[in-house]
A = this chain, B = another copy of it.
Amino acid sequence: MTLLIDIPTADEYPTRKAHEPALLYRRSPTVWGSADGGPFSAEEIADYDRRGYTQIDSLVSGEEVQAYRAELERLSADPALHGDDRVVVDPETGRVQSVFGVHGLSDVFASLVNDPRLVERARQILGSDVYVHQSRVNHKPGFGGGAFFWHSNFETWHAEDGMPRMRAVSFSVALTENHPHNGALMAIPGSHRTFVSCVDPSPSPHHRTPPKTRGVGVPDESSLSLLAHQHGIEVLTGPAGGATVFDSNCMHGSGDNITPHPRSDVFVVFNSVDNACTAPFGSSGPRPEHIASRDFSPAGR
A contact set with B: CB distance below 8 Å: 142-143, 147, 149-150, 179-181, 183, 186, 221, 224-225, 228-229, 233-235, 253-261
Contact = CB atoms under 8 A, between A and B. Distances in A.
A268 to B, nearest CB: 25
20 contacts: A142-B221, A143-B221, A143-B224, A147-B255, A147-B258, A149-B258, A179-B233, A180-B235, A181-B255, A186-B258, A186-B259, A221-B260, A224-B260, A225-B260, A228-B261, A233-B259, A233-B261, A254-B258, A255-B256, A256-B256
A221 to B, nearest CB: 5
A255 B150 contact: no
A228 B143 CA distance: 12
Nearest to A224: B260
Given A180-B180, A224-B260, 15 more contacts: A142-B225, A143-B224, A147-B255, A147-B258, A150-B258, A181-B186, A181-B233, A181-B234, A183-B255, A186-B259, A228-B259, A228-B260, A253-B258, A254-B258, A256-B256
Nearest to A257: B255
Contacts of A224: 143, 260
Nearest to A233: B181
A260 B228 CA distance: 7
A141 to B, nearest CB: 10
A81 B169 CA distance: 53
A216 B137 CA distance: 36
A258 B151 CA distance: 11
A261 B255 CA distance: 13
Contacts of A253: 258
A112 to B, nearest CB: 30
Contacts of A255: 147, 181, 183, 255-258
A224 B181 CA distance: 14
A260 B147 CA distance: 15
Contacts of A256: 147, 255-256
Contacts of A234: 181
Nearest to A188: B259
A147 B257 CA distance: 9
Contacts of A225: 142, 260
A254 B183 CA distance: 11
Nearest to A182: B233
Nearest to A149: B258
Contacts of A254: 258
A199 B261 CA distance: 23
Q: Which of A147, A149, A229, A235 has the most B CB atoms < 10 Å from its CB?
A: A147
Nearest to A254: B258
A47 to B, nearest CB: 20
Nearest to A214: B143
